[in-house]
Amino acid sequence: MKRIIITASFVAVAALYAAPSAMSAEETLGNVDRGRVIYQFGKGDDVPACQGCHAPDGLGDDNVGTPRLAYQIDTYVLKQLADFAAGSRVDDTMYQMNDISKALTEQDMKDVASYVHTLKTPYIGSNLDQLRRDGAEVGDPEKGMMIVEYGAADHGVPACQSCHGFNGRSAGRMYPAVGGQNYVYLQHELTSFRNGAEAYGSSTLTADQMASKEDNQRVNDFMGQMRAVAKNLTDEDIKNVAAFLTLAKPTTPGNPRSPSRQ
């Protein structure tokens, strides 16, 4: 009898942990093997290998401003590829992602999103000392941690972890992992969201506005959620949160569970 009760409550707890994810551990959005082939070899004449820019292990590269894709939430990756294809997000770093995404079918996007989610590359983050040596202005991780955990109430910035989870490890679905992301990319995206907020607030753009918007304005966030945050970030805040987040690990020693589904 006792054993049955223990088992039942274990199942209930396991279900709670699984709750943020819409899918069971075995289910994936697409076909991981097909996704791997696209990631490693590209597809036809129009899709170069993703790993050429995002690295074989999915770590990305600060030298060219590419993001880490390894273990990113598959539904978020799929949305970004669809947004690049539709033009609602513009790659103004290397000007390649829009054409690449247009050449992918919806199935390709699902497959490659599923593949990158399987990459268990450790959360290494950027080498901040190297970036400093290269002349980048690097923020203060301690100050960034305060904003990620508590926000900056004096100038209207909410705690990042309220949407992105502990250490920015993602809250699943539409909330990407931002912990362990690359410094240069984080700084670029936060600035782009702020540019988008300055021009359009948090509103959804009309087709005309979308056609005339500047490339350095990121406006593809659902309901303007991220623009509402970024509009109050100072340049200093952006460097500080980027410095903290790039080094942030998804787990704590006391909590070995990695983001969502594990």
Amino acid sitting at position 2? K
For residue 5, CA distances in Å to 1, 88, 169, 247 come to 7, 51, 33, 41
Q: Which is nearer to ligand HEC, 225 or 258 (CB)?
A: 225
- In angstroms, give the least distance from the CB of 204 to ligand HEC: 12
The residue assigned the tokens 């268990």 is: 120
d(C-alpha 213, C-alpha 222), whole Å:
17
d(C-alpha 249, C-alpha 71), whole Å:
13
Q: Which is nearer to ligand HEC, 1 or 222 (CB)?
A: 222
Angle 137-217-172 (CA atoms, 0-180°, nearest 5)?
Answer: 85
- In angstroms, give the least distance from the CB of 9 to ligand HEC: 32
- In angstroms, give the least distance from the CB of 127 to ligand HEC: 19
Q: Which residues bind ligand HEC (CB under 6 A)?
A: 38, 47-48, 50, 52-54, 65-67, 69, 77, 79-81, 91-94, 96-97, 100, 112, 147, 157-158, 160, 162-164, 174-176, 178, 186, 189-190, 220-222, 225-226, 229, 241
- In angstroms, give the least distance from the CB of 242 to ligand HEC: 8
- In angstroms, give the least distance from the CB of 160 to ligand HEC: 3
- Answer for the pair 60, 184: CB distance below 8 angstroms, yes or no: no
- In angstroms, give the least distance from the CB of 82 to ligand HEC: 10
d(C-alpha 20, C-alpha 9), whole Å:
19
- Answer for the pair 71, 117: CB distance below 8 angstroms, yes or no: yes
Q: Which is nearer to ligand HEC, 48 or 253 (CB)?
A: 48
Q: Which is nearer to ligand HEC, 115 or 254 (CB)?
A: 115
Q: Which is nearer to ligand HEC, 65 or 87 (CB)?
A: 65
Q: Which is nearer to ligand HEC, 4 or 72 (CB)?
A: 72
Cα pseudo-dihedral 235, 238, 241, 244, rounded to 10: -80
